[in-house]
Structure 1
Amino acid sequence: MSETLHTSDVSVSDADLLDQVAAAVREAGAALRERFGEVVRYRSREELMRALADNDDTALGILRPRLTSLRPEAGWVEDELDGGALPPGEWWVVDPAEGNVNHLHALPEWAVTATLVRDNQPVLTVVHLPLTGETYTARAGGGAHVDGRPLHVSKTADLGLSLVATSQARPDEDEKVVRRVGSSITAMLLDALVVRTAVPATLHLVNVAAGRIDAFWQSAGARADLLPGALLVTEAGGRISDTQGRPWTPQSTGFLAAAPGIHTEAVATLSR
């Protein structure tokens, strides 16, 4: 990962900046939509990585210059699979093709995301779904919205009546993490109404923010797949923690986003 830190200039309000970031993300999404439709065939890991990189490069060719022009002093996180804390200051955390493998397989669950992190706190985020045209936005202290309409998490208060979801953080995960994923799914299958499992994490999290899904959890994870949804869910009134109920940070080994009414139950289930 290549990261370059600069001193930030915050003279442009975050509200104004959010609108400009949304325009850039939509433009990148339109470019990826033009590439979508047929299943991309690959016969080796090298061919797969090349196809993924082609999508990333298409979106980044739009996003990087646009976002850099908006915040020229902000750093840029190169690796969307990286995690952990960032150095002080402002950083762009971008996933140019969230759910990239779905895009290659002609599946509709993919998005483009961009999040501005200031001193390790996400302050604004945009998640655009090019196939539906929806744009989810959130700003710290400013609420969460989809196409301008406010988002609110569900009022569900019973895990046994809840639709919950999880996701695979990355391919080639450590065996201990894989086993933890399996045991957590088993626990939720016993306690929740229905469990959904699919990638990418961000699309589950926008559904939590919109009240369509009651909780989402994940073992491990990266900044780019959790920070956008974490801000959206928080600003929509949800609760964020690790899977043990402790405060979540990008260094945490687990992540939970839930409607307040079932957060405690979900923690108890995932802590077994």
Structure 2
Amino acid sequence: MSETLQTATVPVSVPTSDADLLAQTVLAVRTAGAALRERFGEVVRHRTREELMHALAANDDTALAILRPRLTHLRPEAGWVEDELDGGALPSGEWWVVDPAEGNVNHLHALPEWAVTATLVRDNRPVLTVVHLPLAGETYTALAGAGAHLDGRPLRVSDTAHLDLSIVATSQARPDEDAEVVRRVGRSITAMLFDALVVRTAVPATLHLVNVAAGRTDAFWQFAGARADLLPGALLVLEAGGRISDAEGRPWTPQSDSFLAAAPGIHAEAASTLSR
């Protein structure tokens, strides 16, 4: 199946602009999403960590069999981030940062919160991103300097001006997190339960971030994290008029140990709460 999909989905032309590249990336990500949707339905049973990892890898491989040849064809000189859990800065030049099954564990448990993402990073700045939700049939896109969109419709963050009127969210960066990070997450949730209207906690991060970009929720924060689960949403939120920083309000980079995306009206208040 993988060989057939690869042959059928490689585009015949190379894009000449970032806008054209974004359109081609959308096609690749949607095709990968359709393949994962065919695998979705029943809970995938696993009794050991080894069985779980094997099932996660099978989903990743299904999507990557489509994404890697197509995106490599579009940008032959671009590097490729092999591990979606990697963090930190990238070497100079262009890199594809891809999460073939963002929220993979949800997919295996027949939960609907999962997506396929692809982001082109140029000299450590995201240039374009595609986040496709196959079950909802929604595709979120952002192009640096050209805005964020949902299926072609412009996105805008909320105009909420008070944290106590806000829906905020956080996520778990990875299952085997450092003990101090886990304690920090717990303290931050407690602080937000006092200061915000509603606190949501779930994986994956990207689905929270598309909600911030769309103005459905007002802020998202996370401690630790990887490029693949933060860069797509960071570009979407920025292009939708939101603010990105670390949890204390300082400039965010992939090397930062925390992340905050929020509507401008509550960003400072959210950072203050998280800094306590």
TM over 0.5: yes
CA distance in 1 between counterparts of 2:81 and 2:267 reads: 31
* Residue in structure 1 matched with residue 78 of structure 2 by the alignment: 74
* Residue in structure 1 matched with residue 134 of structure 2 by the alignment: 130
Is the counterpart of residue 92 in structure 1 residue 86 in structure 2?
Answer: no
Is the counterpart of residue 218 in structure 1 residue 222 in structure 2?
Answer: yes
* Residue in structure 2 matched with residue 110 of structure 1 by the alignment: 114
* Residue in structure 1 matched with residue 47 of structure 2 by the alignment: 43
- Contact between 2:36 and 2:63, CA under 8 Å: does it hold in 1? yes
Counterpart of 1:219 in structure 2: which amino acid? F
Scaled by the length of structure 1, the TM-score of the pair is: 0.96
User: Percent identity, aligned pairs only?
Assistant: 86
* Residue in structure 2 matched with residue 261 of structure 1 by the alignment: 265
- Contact between 2:15 and 2:24, CA under 8 Å: does it hold in 1? no
Is the counterpart of residue 186 in structure 1 residue 190 in structure 2?
Answer: yes
Scaled by the length of structure 2, the TM-score of the pair is: 0.95
* Residue in structure 1 matched with residue 208 of structure 2 by the alignment: 204
CA distance in 2 between counterparts of 1:12 and 1:120 reads: 21
Counterpart of 2:58 in structure 1: which amino acid? D
1:189-242 Cα shifts (integer Å, max 9, x gaps):
000000000000000000000000000000100000000000000000000000
Counterpart of 2:264 in structure 1: which amino acid? P
CA distance in 1 between counterparts of 2:252 and 2:195 reads: 23
Report the Cα offset of residue 11 of structure 1. Answer: 7.4
Counterpart of 1:116 in structure 2: which amino acid? L
CA distance in 2 between counterparts of 1:20 and 1:264 reads: 37
Counterpart of 2:72 in structure 1: which amino acid? T
* Residue in structure 2 matched with residue 28 of structure 1 by the alignment: 32
1:143 to 142, 147, 152: 147
CA distance in 1 between counterparts of 2:68 and 2:212 reads: 29
Instruction: Count residues in correspondence.
Output: 263
* Residue in structure 1 matched with residue 5 of structure 2 by the alignment: none
Report the Cα offset of residue 12 of structure 1. Answer: 1.9
What SS does structure 2 have at the residue aligned with 1:173? coil
What SS does structure 1 have at the residue aligned with 2:238? helix
* Residue in structure 1 matched with residue 172 of structure 2 by the alignment: 168
Structure 1 moving runs of 4+ over 4 Å: none
Counterpart of 1:129 in structure 2: which amino acid? L
Instruction: Give the RMSD, CA atoms, in angstroms.
Output: 0.8
CA distance in 2 between counterparts of 1:31 and 1:198 reads: 24
- Contact between 2:63 and 2:101, CA under 8 Å: does it hold in 1? yes
Counterpart of 1:118 in structure 2: which amino acid? R
Counterpart of 1:18 in structure 2: which amino acid? L
CA distance in 2 between counterparts of 1:142 and 1:125 reads: 12
CA distance in 1 between counterparts of 2:268 and 2:73 reads: 43
Unaligned runs of 5+ in 1: 1-9
Counterpart of 1:89 in structure 2: which amino acid? G
- Contact between 2:248 and 2:271, CA under 8 Å: does it hold in 1? yes
Is the counterpart of residue 121 in structure 1 residue 122 in structure 2?
Answer: no
- Contact between 2:15 and 2:74, CA under 8 Å: does it hold in 1? no
* Residue in structure 2 matched with residue 4 of structure 1 by the alignment: none
Counterpart of 1:174 in structure 2: which amino acid? D
1:14-45 Cα shifts (integer Å, max 9, x gaps):
00000000000000000000000000000100
CA distance in 2 between counterparts of 1:13 and 1:183 reads: 45
What SS does structure 2 have at the residue aligned with 1:205? helix
